[in-house]
Structure 1
């Protein structure tokens, strides 16, 4: 086990748990019910530089962690696996670098297609984290998909869409 610059990197490598003693593999195995109702894992899967008001134990994305993602293909691949977990939760999937809707995507069952809610904040975080963790192509494809689907198949608020549009600009 190699020592890293951060508990977040150790977590991402599968070498240490999060603040609730869950490994990344444990989180990847959560079903849709738990992904919806547990609110303190998303900050570990998709870190950003700002502190979370929902999870004070979440690590922050630092310049050193960004560099680690830039230099380590395995870290970026593992974050793409985290993206795949969340895409399934949102009724989406990746086809190469493109993000597309699964056949079962439906406004009646996918809460993120509604006007508001915590999933809109999660989506903003995912876009921003992917961008900052040196995966701008995946940030852009996810961003494009949620904006397009949220405004054509859902009733996503203009405010949420604006946050999504701006999520990869910082």
Structure 2
């Protein structure tokens, strides 16, 4: 039986909806991370459909369980997390009142909670909230509330 497309993508053996491998996305420079809007849904899949990217994968409960039990797919999630953490550490454009990256961060937190566990999500949450605080807390309260809610849903 073949792997579900998102699981194969995360495991490094499949392509996303645009024909890219995870290694291609991990190699994106910061401008590509900022400007390309259809990769985050593959790196951090959720159980609900994306409003921003129609046709993005929707994770079933069974597929989430399969990813949680697949060391290669989990390694892919961790690699994607590492790349996004580096992006948020090295760039400041998202540190403003409203930015599309705030939605990405909510997605990342939700996917981490589901696939890697609440500790991984809490660690990423601590990182992005510390970056916000260090920048003078420019991010709007609603985005911060969504981030906190993503942790509570875990």
Give TM-score scaled by structure 2 length: 0.91
Q: Which of 86, 89, 105 is 1:123 aligned to?
A: 105
CA displacement 1:114-143 (0-9 Å, x = unmatched): 111100000010000000113321111111
Q: Contact 2:11/2:74 (CA < 8 Å) preserved in 1?
A: no
Q: Which of 48, 54, 59 is 2:46 aligned to?
A: 48
Once the two structures are TM-superposed, the CA of residue 20 in structure 1 deviates from its matched residue by 0.8
Once the two structures are TM-superposed, the CA of residue 152 in structure 1 deviates from its matched residue by 4.0
Q: Contact 1:114/1:156 (CA < 8 Å) preserved in 2?
A: yes
Q: Residue 86 of structure 1 corresponds to which residue in structure 2?
A: 84
CA displacement 1:67-99 (0-9 Å, x = unmatched): 1122122221221110011011111xxxxxxxx
More strand by share: 1
CA displacement 1:43-70 (0-9 Å, x = unmatched): 0000111111221121112101211122
CA distance in structure 2 between the aligned counterparts of 1:13 and 1:80, rounded to whole angstroms: 11
Question: Tell me, what secondary structure is at the counterpart of 2:97?
Answer: coil
Matches within 5 A, 1:1-170: 3-4=2-3, 6-91=4-89, 109-153=91-135, 154-170=137-153
Query: What are structure 1's unaligned runs of at least 5 residues?
Result: 92-104
Question: Tell me, what secondary structure is at the counterpart of 1:82?
Answer: helix
Say which structure, 1 or 2, has more relative contact order (CA 8 Å, 6+ apart).
2
CA distance in structure 2 between the aligned counterparts of 1:165 and 1:66, rounded to whole angstroms: 22
Q: Which runs of 4+ in 1 moved over 4 A?
A: none
Count of aligned pairs between the two proteins:
152
Query: What are structure 2's unaligned runs of at least 5 residues?
Result: none
More helix by share: 2
Give TM-score scaled by structure 1 length: 0.83
